[in-house]
Amino acid sequence: MDTVSKVKQGDTDISSNKIWLITGCVMLVCGAGACSGEPPADTIYRNGYIYTVDARSSTEEALAIRDGVIVYVGNESGAQKFAGRNTKIVDLDGRMMMPGLVDGHMHPLSGGLKLVSCSLNYAALTVEQFRERIQGCLDASRDKEPDGWLEVESWFQQNMLPPGTEVDFADLDLLDTQRPILVHSSFGHTTLANSRAMELAGISSSTPDPDDGKIAHDADGRPSGIFEDAAQGLFDGLLPETTDAERLVAGLASLREMNAQGITSFLDASAEYSDVKVYATLQQQGKLTIRSHFAVLVGEEPGQNADEAVESVLQIAREFDQGPITPRPTITVRNAKLFLDGVIAAPSFTGTMLEPYLENRGTDEEPDWVSSDNKGPDPYFSAADLEAFLLQLAAAGIDPHIHADGDGATRYALDGFEAMRKQYSPQNIRAAIAHVEIVDPTDFARFAALDVIPVPSFQWGKPASDTIEGLRDYLGPARFKYIEPQGFLHEAGARIAYGSDWPVDPLDVWFALKVGVTRTNAPDAPARYAGRLGEDPGLSRDTVVRAITINSSYELHQEAETGSLEVGKFADLIVLDRNLFEIPAEEIADIKVLLTVVGGEVVYEAGEMAGQVVE
């Protein structure tokens, strides 16, 4: 059905929107609306299912925008008061409108670079397919032989086929090339190198593990080619710098990808100066289409103390932070990112645990899972250093955003925030812990008590290679039932905000929201991944919507401006091709965004809505 329906009046076709506009003007000559002196709206959206995400989760029919701000939300007759001669009237034809999505944890420039790089696209691959994909990239860039580095992105290490398959340097050495190769795990915590890469980096059997990193070795004591966490940095000085032009192309690609999914604000959860500069440059070029927030990475430099960490954030903020946000997208630098551990999934086991991982001392046919002596690494900060960092950041008005994957790291982060909360209130400092893949049940209620925001990635809460083969037996049933505890945290009163962690996973927020509700994988996933994950009750549809709108806006200190469709807030909104609340839960993954609006300006349109904003 056309968005603007036609009605016949004599020999003249008149759009129903224009009749609606004329009717409004005639009715309101003496009223308080646009036809009687009040400034008219720039755009009115009518005839919709408008899910406001206000305190009552109310739905309305119409919404009016002036100068990038919402001036009316309500029924159609009320919206007519804001219609003027030049007002654009958009007939939603019953479609669902909701607030724009606010992604509370992602890595957008990395995501953009992966869109334009050699990529394995998170695919489940056999070793042969793994090599074929990489060989294809080598063949397409023969001009880089013999010394040009090849970096391969989005390797889903835990998804190798058959399950449990591991690869090492020898698998890369079989490729038809002399080039040094690095293959980066999509989780961001593991890199696989070929022999040439290790040779150029001077890595041998005697190379020590760096602090907060690990070099894997084979049975003969040789480096296997697997480098975990900080050990990945052993190659940094050898890799060619990405050019400014390449970074701008990647940044623009990231914005387009996010616009298409309905994202209107993001937090770059591990930013460096060069990352912020890309989006600032795009803004100067008039191409910034998303509200851009940056959490500067701190505590990564050896010996960096709290004073130096705060100053590193403030230096970037002084150059790029643009103050209070406006209807047009701006840049803020008011967050800091700290890592406490790595990832809990096999084969890394770099997540910090309260109790040891289990290990199989039997066989694959007759397993015997018993406790090991491996609790993962110690937290990457001492307790005293973490408290000092948090207090110094809070004193400077910087919101701390902590990576904690294991239950040990999560408790450690909560302890640090408990000390911080004795001096700094939630209203002033928004504390967040990203990932929280496993949390001890005794810590569930502490999130609400301390007003600490868990920022999980809902798409991980399903049966898949990283949770079944990568976690189930290594955690044991007592812990595994609490894996990805998003529903448990919500029941305990936590204010959950969603973060995609893109490009750790493909950017697919609607699939993620579906998983948040159902705890199931896609219908076409292998049979071994059928059913629900763990004992977590999952989340309601309203709760997942709030997590990616008003709650993540709260995380970013912009809940007064975004996250719900209410009068006085910025007109950040999206229109969907189906109603999230009226379809089977599994179909939430199939939702497509037809329109994305930021500050009243259309930044993406598709399908039936393309070109349908009528004068």
β-pair partners for 365: none
Note whether residue 561 is domain-resident.
no
| 410 close to 443: Cβ distance less than 8 angstroms | yes
**Tokens (6 digits) for 520:** 């199931």
Between the alpha carbon of residue 488 and those of residues 98, 440, 449, 496, the distances in Å are 26, 11, 15, 11
Note whether residue 560 is domain-resident.
no
Chain length of the chain: 615
What are the average pLDDT values for consecutive 10-residue runs of the chain, which has 615 residues? 35 54 48 60 98 98 98 96 95 98 97 90 92 94 94 88 91 96 88 96 94 90 93 92 93 98 98 97 98 95 88 97 97 98 90 97 94 95 96 97 98 98 96 98 98 98 94 96 98 98 94 98 93 97 98 98 98 98 98 98 94 58
Whether residues 50 and 142 share a domain: the answer is no
CB environment 582-600: b (16+ within 10 A), e (fewer): eeebeebbebebbbbbbbb
For position 164, what pLDDT does the model report? 83
Whether residues 293 and 439 share a domain: the answer is yes
Query: Tokens 């919402």 map to which residue?
Result: 70
Whether residues 490 and 577 share a domain: the answer is no
Whether residues 303 and 384 share a domain: the answer is yes
Between the alpha carbon of residue 378 and those of residues 232, 349, 354, 594, the distances in Å are 18, 12, 10, 47
| 214 close to 182: Cβ distance less than 8 angstroms | no
Note whether residue 615 is domain-resident.
no
Distance CA 470, CA 483 (A): 12
Q: How much helix, strand and coil, in percent to the nearest 5, is found in the chain? A: 35, 20, 45
Distance CA 544, CA 489 (A): 13
Note whether residue 129 is domain-resident.
yes
Whether residues 271 and 356 share a domain: the answer is yes
Whether residues 257 and 201 share a domain: the answer is no
Tally of domains in the chain = 3
For position 302, what pLDDT does the model report? 75
Whether residues 585 and 522 share a domain: the answer is no
Dihedral sign, Cα of residue 156, residue 160, residue 165, residue 168: negative
For position 611, what pLDDT does the model report? 79
Whether residues 282 and 212 share a domain: the answer is no
Distance CA 187, CA 193 (A): 16
User: Checking phi first, is residue 484 left (phi over 0); if not, alpha (psi -120 to 50) or beta?
Assistant: left
Note down the domain range covering 595. Answer: 6-99+568-609
> Residue 600: what are its φ and ψ, rounded to 5°?
85, -10
Whether residues 61 and 137 share a domain: the answer is no
Distance CA 452, CA 401 (A): 10
Whether residues 589 and 493 share a domain: the answer is no
Whether residues 31 and 153 share a domain: the answer is no
Q: Which amino acid is at 178?
A: Q
Burial of 102 (0-12, 13-18, 19+ CB in 10 A): buried
Query: What is the reported pTM?
Result: 0.86
For position 615, what pLDDT does the model report? 41
